[in-house]
Amino acid sequence: MKKAPWVIMAILSIGIGLYPIIYFVMDRKFGLLNTKSESLLSDAFWNTGFYGHIVLGGLALLIGWLQFSESIRKNNMQLHKNIGKLYVFCVLISGVCGVYIGFYATGGIFTALGFILLGLFWLATTIMAYLAAKNRKIERHRVLMIYSYAACFAAVTLRIWLPLLTGYFGDFETAYSIVAWLCWVPNIVVAYFIVK
């Protein structure tokens, strides 16, 4: 990967990877949680899903960019493997939680479908990438991990698009229903061209 895009990706990944900390230091009626009902916010199962998604998803984002470092792969393959295993663990938990909370997405079925499909795509590409590595199909592993991290990077692109669309439409719900798709589908298209 070229150095400048890699550095930009790293900075954005670290910044948004640390973002879930805000939910532990601020009042819960902040950001997206502001759109949720009191009954949902008091539901233990939903809270487990929400915090499982943001904490482990944040950690996956925080460490995933390191896997694109050629020097780490060349000089310390064991570190690359260990980070990879941690990334896969984080995706499995965060992805399942993401699919579950996707059913409760603000904005209805169109929004929910966008986030649920994102979660399923992230899980599928990550599991297939892990199995490819186990079977020593390194090129297939590399390609699938590019797609996996493109899905993971939706956490970043969501936070870029959402304020822009909210400002443009003047309505959070409309913006959120669009961003449920816009945060990840273009990432997959970019990943496709990177792979090609």
Answer whether residue 139 is part of any domain. Answer: yes
Answer whether residue 32 is part of any domain. Answer: no
Helical packing angle, 44-64 and 77-102, nearest 10° = 150
Report the domain count for the chain: 1
Answer whether residue 187 is part of any domain. Answer: yes
Pick the more confident residue, 46 or 73: 46
Which residues form the domain of 65? 3-22+43-195
Answer whether residue 38 is part of any domain. Answer: no
pLDDT tens digits, residue range 144-166? Answer: 999 999 999 999 999 999 999 99
* 55, 20 contact by CB (below 8 A): yes
The conformation of residue 136, written as its DSSP 8-state character, comes to: T
pTM of the model: 0.93
Answer whether residue 131 is part of any domain. Answer: yes
Answer whether residue 27 is part of any domain. Answer: no
pLDDT tens digits, residue range 68-124? Answer: 888 888 899 999 999 999 999 999 999 999 999 999 999 999 999 999 999 999 999
